[in-house]
Amino acid sequence: MGKNLIELNHISKIFDGEQVIDDLNLSIKENSFVTLLGPSGCGKTTTLRIIAGFIRPDKGNVIFDGVDITDLPPNERQLNTVFQKYALFPHMNVRDNIAFGLNIKKKSKSYIDDKIKYALKLVNLDGYEKRNVESLSGGQQQRIAIARAIVNEPKVLLLDEPLAALDLKLRQEMQYELKKLKNELGITFIYVTHDQEEALTMSDTVVVMNQGYIQQLGTPEQIYNEPENAFVATFIGDSNIVHGVMLEDYLVEIFGSPFKCIDSGFGKRQPVDVVIRPEDVDIVDINSDKAILKGKMIGAIFKGEMYEMECRTNDGFEWLIHSTDLVEPGKEVGIFVEPENIQIMNKPASEDEEAVEVLAELNEE
Amino acid sequence: MKNKKLKLFTIPYAAWMLFFVIIPIFIIGYYGVTDSNGNFTLANIFSITQYEHYKSLFLAIYLAIICTVICLLIAYPLALILRKLDPKLSGTLIFIFLLPMWMNMLLRTLAWQILLERKGVINALLTMAHLPTLNIINTNAAVVLGMVYDFLPFMVMPVFNSLSKIDDSVIDAASDLGAKYHTVLFRIIIPLSIPGIVSGITMVFIPALTTFVISNILGGGRILLIGGLIEQEFMHASNWNLGSGLSIFLILFVFVFIAISMFFDDEEELA
């Protein structure tokens, strides 16, 4: 993919004495779908609002297409935002809402009419021009908000938790639609959400944030399969995080038993965090050679596409296991994990320190 | 059973309304359409066509309009500023703003008389500073000043309420779409605050139109508004028939005004 369209350099922002963003660096490539993902208060929305121009960073600058736009007000930036609560103009009908930006740019009436028709078609609401926005459902209002933004042909569309107010079914539908829309428009999407599923489904690049720092940046697969630290591992999907000790390269000890793994370069007897996804925990016969850990099944819930089960091993740890095959609670079983499914992470001294380390790595890249 | 008990609680209010609102209106209605001998006549109501009478009505409308416009021009920017402030700070400022209203309106108006008098406090200070004195007591200007002072909070509150109901993200969205501040103000903020503006106008214009206290105290008997005229008929001329007739006219006038303003209010909510 092309060149960097947006660059955030050393951005810091303090609100009421609280450091919301601390020395954040981020490059966003042209035509990418980037998601800022994190819990509330992690600085993701602040980052988005800094890009949109609603918030001025205390330090650092924002480069857009090679030009420093840090001091440019929102109305002079070539990007548009879709807000969480739709933010439609309640005193205008659908047509006037969508035409708002084009009227300001003093476009001709025929141009505006064509654009509105095109945009409404794109969001599957043809013929809604005369409707009163407050009579529309939440999903429809959000589509109008998207149409209102894209008629201005922004180079970047910023989306601030646009699906958060919608119900689950609609949210999933809209995820596919947004992805499709992005491909049709061929512009850059920067998406903010706290919903990991949304992030993994739609994005090319996921930026996991916490406490004002970038914790990890990568493709959805990288983020899910190779979390950099315990925060990312717990935030993205379910996981078993256990204490381990590196015995040697490619061998880690968990609860006193050696597991083969594919990581190397750690010190001898170095304590580490081990992440194992619930679907990667294999239940084997208790007498099999593969039964590295032994324990007893203590619970099972049917989740539709799989069973969510728990197994307490002899060391007392309760493993979360996802499988399509049910193993009845009460059964004594063995546990095995394939080497490539074991993810080894350095133990952080503290959460802050960990974040700084991640950041330093990013800067080196 | 429960409903019946609840209904008992409405009796004091209903009784109050009956004795102090409904019955007096009927009394005014009766006096308004009869002459001193008790015979039916519409002359009292139509006496508004007499020069002295419609002159005081037009003057009252004129001064009330000026007062309303000034209140709006002061209140709107103030409410815009208050809207942007931290709720704690804006709450405190509104409290300070409303504080004078805890004092009787008559006292506050009398205070202005003392301030504005030819040898009053303001002129004493101006003389001390070797500045020209201010001679507005007993003029229209003094009456408008008193009206604005007394009724300004009635404009600030509804305007502030409607402004604070506007979602910040709507304003952000407008500037995100390329609108400069004045465009945001005239295309988004003002249209969305019309309900507040309409109720503010109603709450200022009607008491300003019907006041007689302010015009009596700050007009020094030279400025006769329709409210003052009605008061004179009742209190000094003891002509209850004429006073009631003019009152009926004024009530109808206010009804028409409210109906028009409600129409604008609805219009806005439907659009």
Q: DSSP readout, B104-171? A: -HHHHHHHHHHHHSTTSHHHHHHHHTT------TTSHHHHHHHHHHHHHHHHHHHHHHHHHTS-HHHH
- In the block, which residue shows the tokens 């009742």? B234
For residue B177, the distance in angstroms to the closest alpha carbon of chain A comes to 5
What is the model's pLDDT at position B7? 84
Residue of A nearest to B172 (CA): A54
Between chain A and chain B, the number of residue pairs with CB atoms below 8 A apart is 64
- A14 has a chain B CB within 8 A of its CB: no
> Does B258 fall in a domain?
no
Residue of A nearest to B169 (CA): A87
CB contact under 8 A, B177 and A100: yes
CB contact under 8 A, B179 and A84: no
pTM of the shown model: 0.81
For residue A146, the distance in angstroms to the closest alpha carbon of chain B comes to 11
Distance CA B46, CA A182 (A): 72
Residue of A nearest to B171 (CA): A87
Distance CA B7, CA B9 (A): 5
CB contact under 8 A, B178 and A101: yes
What is the model's pLDDT at position B270? 45
Residue range(s) defining the domain that contains residue B153: 57-240
| Mutation for testing the B interface, residue in A50, A84, A89, A106 having most B CBs under 10 Å | A89
What is the model's pLDDT at position A364? 44
| CA angle, B166 then B167 then B168, to 5° | 115
Nearest to B268 among A91, A100, A152 (CB): A91
- A97 has a chain B CB within 8 A of its CB: no
What is the model's pLDDT at position A99? 96
CB contact under 8 A, A87 and B169: yes
CB contact under 8 A, A75 and B169: no
Distance spanning both ends of chain A, measured CA to CA: 17
Buried b / exposed e along A214-236 (16+ C-beta atoms within 10 A):
bbbbbebeebbbbbbbbbbbebb
Nearest 5°: phi and psi at A197?
-65, -45
Point out the residues of chain A with pLDDT beneath 70. 1, 348-365
| CA angle, B215 then B217 then B219, to 5° | 50
Nearest to B177 among A73, A80, A90 (CB): A80
What is the model's pLDDT at position A365? 41
Contacts of B192 in chain A (CB under 8 A): 89-91
Distance CA A125, CA A258 (A): 59
Nearest to B176 among A74, A88, A89 (CB): A74
> Does B142 fall in a domain?
yes
CB contact under 8 A, A100 and B180: no
Distance CA A258, CA A244 (A): 10
Nearest to A52 among B176, B178, B192 (CB): B176
- B192 has a chain A CB within 8 A of its CB: yes
Tell me which DSSP letter residue A270 carries. E
- B88 has a chain A CB within 8 A of its CB: no
Contacts of A104 in chain B (CB under 8 A): 177-179, 183
- A32 has a chain B CB within 8 A of its CB: no
Contacts of A89 in chain B (CB under 8 A): 170, 173-174, 188, 192
Other CB atoms within 10 A of residue A63 CB: 16
> Does B15 fall in a domain?
no
> Does B68 fall in a domain?
yes
Point out the residues of chain B with pLDDT beneath 50. 270-271
- In the block, which residue shows the tokens 């419609």? B54
SS3 assignment, position A217: strand
CB contact under 8 A, A87 and B167: yes
Query: Is A156 in contact with A190 (CB distance < 8 Å)?
Result: yes
> Does B257 fall in a domain?
no
> Does B226 fall in a domain?
yes
CB contact under 8 A, A87 and B170: yes
For residue A131, the distance in angstroms to the closest alpha carbon of chain B comes to 10
Buried b / exposed e along A259-275 (16+ C-beta atoms within 10 A):
bebebeebeeeeebbbb
CA B207 to chain centre: 3
Buried b / exposed e along A241-252 (16+ C-beta atoms within 10 A):
ebebbbeeeeeb
For residue A262, the distance in angstroms to the closest alpha carbon of chain B comes to 49
> Does B2 fall in a domain?
no
What is the model's pLDDT at position B227? 93
Overall domain count for chain B: 1
Nearest to B188 among A76, A89, A105 (CB): A89
pLDDT in tens, A115-174: 999 999 999 999 999 999 999 999 999 999 999 999 999 999 999 999 988 888 888 888
CB contact under 8 A, A87 and B172: yes
- A90 has a chain B CB within 8 A of its CB: yes
CB contact under 8 A, B172 and A81: yes
* AA identity, residue A316: G
Distance CA B74, CA B172 (A): 25
CB contact under 8 A, B172 and A75: no
Q: Is the dihedral of CA B144, B149, B153, B156 positive or negative?
A: positive
CB contact under 8 A, B174 and A89: yes
- B11 has a chain A CB within 8 A of its CB: no
Nearest to B177 among A90, A91, A104 (CB): A104
* Longest distance between any two alpha carbons in chain A, whole Å: 79
> Does B52 fall in a domain?
no
Domain with B183 in it: what CATH number? 1.10.3720.10
CB contact under 8 A, B173 and A89: yes
CB contact under 8 A, B179 and A100: yes
